[in-house]
Amino acid sequence: YRWIYQNREGWVQMPIGGVARVGQAFYFPPFDWHFLVTETGETFYREADQIIINTGYVLGASILISLILLFLFSGYLTRPLRAVAQGMRHVIDTNDLSQRVPVEYNDEIGSLAHTFNIMSTELEQAYGRIKEFAYKAVLAQKNEHKVRSIFQKYVPKDVIDTIFMNPEKMLVGDNRVVAILFSDIRSFTTISEGFMPDELVLSLNKYFEFMVDIIMRRGGVIDKYIGDAIMAFFGAPVKHEDDAYQAVMAALEMQEALKTFNAEQQRIGKPQFITGVGINYGVVTVGNIGSEKKMDYTIIGDMVNLGSRLEGLTKPYHQNIIFSESVYRKVKDQVKCRLVDKVVVKGKTKGENIYTAEKQLSLRQKKAWAYHHMGLRHYYARRFQNALRYFKAVNKLLPEDYLAQMYSQRCQRYIEDPPPADWVGIEVLTSK
């Protein structure tokens, strides 16, 4: 009662008569009364324990139902995600860019599926373009290889590389300074009579093989074959400072190769070839010339015509090689040159110095060529007696030298019948 008196109101647990009881105290002020209502603890807490137990049952059932629902609905909810993942895996494993996934929801998952489909479409189109490009690239490479294989029979590799790197330049005409080389077999019509048709073709192809290899090795481009003649040029489409020198060296090496070829011709009992080479150096027009059905990368111009005329002079002057003054100025410090004559070729009005060359000179040739040039100085100065002595000295050193014989005859003629006062030593040629 002390607690009741002190606290007046409130809940209290206490043993009463040895039994644990739970009670609530009340205070009634008007009469200063104190009341205490109690109940045994077992009876009091029996409902609360049942509530806790029942709550536990409900909670457990709720968790179980939630797990069941989560299991059932999670598969349904994640199915679109699995479809996207499976689509990605299919693309990775098979490279099949035609794979698409269904768009089932108008939410983030649906947006993901739609984005995947767009990505697949774009990749498929890009892959198609890449395949088409690759096919065209392979086809172009095959065509380039085929074209290279064909052109390499006529054109040096560096020239082909230039053509493929700048193909547009090949379609435009251009003025270039080039060295032009013409080579022809003398009296080929007569020679061909000693061959059967198949033998003639075989020998001619073998001859061309010797000559063309040298021209291309020296950086020349085979322009065309004109029957038994070869036309080539040096300096287009790739320009070099020594184009004229390379042309002259090609001509000299062609004469050396001709000896090897003729040795084989002699061995098999076939006629030997004698060739003449003419070389000029000057400005020409270079470009693809022809029609849409057939075009040739070629050169045209007055310098080309002069080159052909120079080749034609090799026969009357009995020289293997004849080249122009413009070539001489480019090679005089590198090649042994000999002035042949001063001429006006057919179709021209201006005189042109023409020269020949040798790769190496014997001691007799060096001395003879020195006499030859001293004789020419007297000859063009109209001192024909002095000139004649030098040319006879050349003829003594080189009995078969045609130029020594030619100038000796001219000097003898002019001694007997002097030329007119305006004579400058230029021979006007009336034939090609």
Q: What is the largest CA-CA distance in the chain?
A: 186
| CA contacts within 13 A on the Cβ side of 272 | 12
Q: Supply the range of the domain harboring residue 385.
A: 361-432
pLDDT at residue number 118: 76
- Is the domain of 180 the same as that of 323? yes
Number of domains in the chain: 3
- Is the domain of 200 the same as that of 266? yes
CATH number of the structural domain spanning residue 323: 3.30.70.1230
Q: Is residue 192 part of a domain?
A: yes
pLDDT at residue number 222: 92
* CA torsion through residues 366, 371, 377, 380, sign: negative
User: What is the number of residues in the chain?
Assistant: 432
The residue from 357, 384, 400 where one domain ends is 357
- Is the domain of 300 the same as that of 380? no
Tokens for 118, please give them: 């767009």
Q: What is the pLDDT along the chain (432 residues), one digit of tens a residue?
A: 566 655 556 666 777 777 777 776 666 666 666 666 677 766 766 666 666 676 677 677 767 776 776 666 565 556 666 666 676 676 666 666 666 666 666 666 667 666 767 777 777 777 677 767 766 766 766 766 766 665 666 555 666 676 677 666 655 678 999 999 999 999 998 888 888 888 889 999 999 999 999 999 999 999 999 989 999 999 988 899 999 999 999 999 999 999 999 999 999 888 899 999 999 999 999 988 888 777 778 899 999 999 999 999 999 999 999 999 999 999 999 999 999 999 999 888 889 999 999 999 999 999 999 999 999 999 999 999 999 999 999 999 999 999 999 999 999 999 999 999 999 999 998 776
- Is the domain of 68 the same as that of 215? no
Q: What gap in Å lies between CA 229 and CA 221, rounded to an integer?
A: 14
Q: Is residue 104 part of a domain?
A: no
Q: Is residue 21 part of a domain?
A: yes
Q: Is residue 137 part of a domain?
A: no
pLDDT at residue number 85: 66
- Is the domain of 352 the same as that of 370? no
Q: Is residue 155 part of a domain?
A: no
- Is the domain of 209 the same as that of 334? yes
The residue from 48, 82, 116 where one domain ends is 82
- Is the domain of 314 the same as that of 187? yes
| CA contacts within 13 A on the Cβ side of 166 | 9
The residue from 357, 381, 404 where one domain ends is 357
Tokens for 137, please give them: 């690239």
Q: What gap in Å lies between CA 248 and CA 254, rounded to an integer?
A: 10
Q: What gap in Å lies between CA 151 and CA 291, rounded to an integer?
A: 19
Coil vs helix vs strand at 314: coil
- Is the domain of 285 the same as that of 204? yes
Q: Is residue 111 part of a domain?
A: no
Residues 6+ apart with CB under 8 A from 170: 163, 237, 287, 288, 297
- Is the domain of 351 the same as that of 365? no
Tokens for 301, please give them: 């111009």
Virtual CA dihedral for 48, 54, 57, 58, nearest 10 degrees?
-110
Q: What gap in Å lies between CA 215 and CA 213, rounded to an integer?
A: 6
Q: Is residue 220 part of a domain?
A: yes
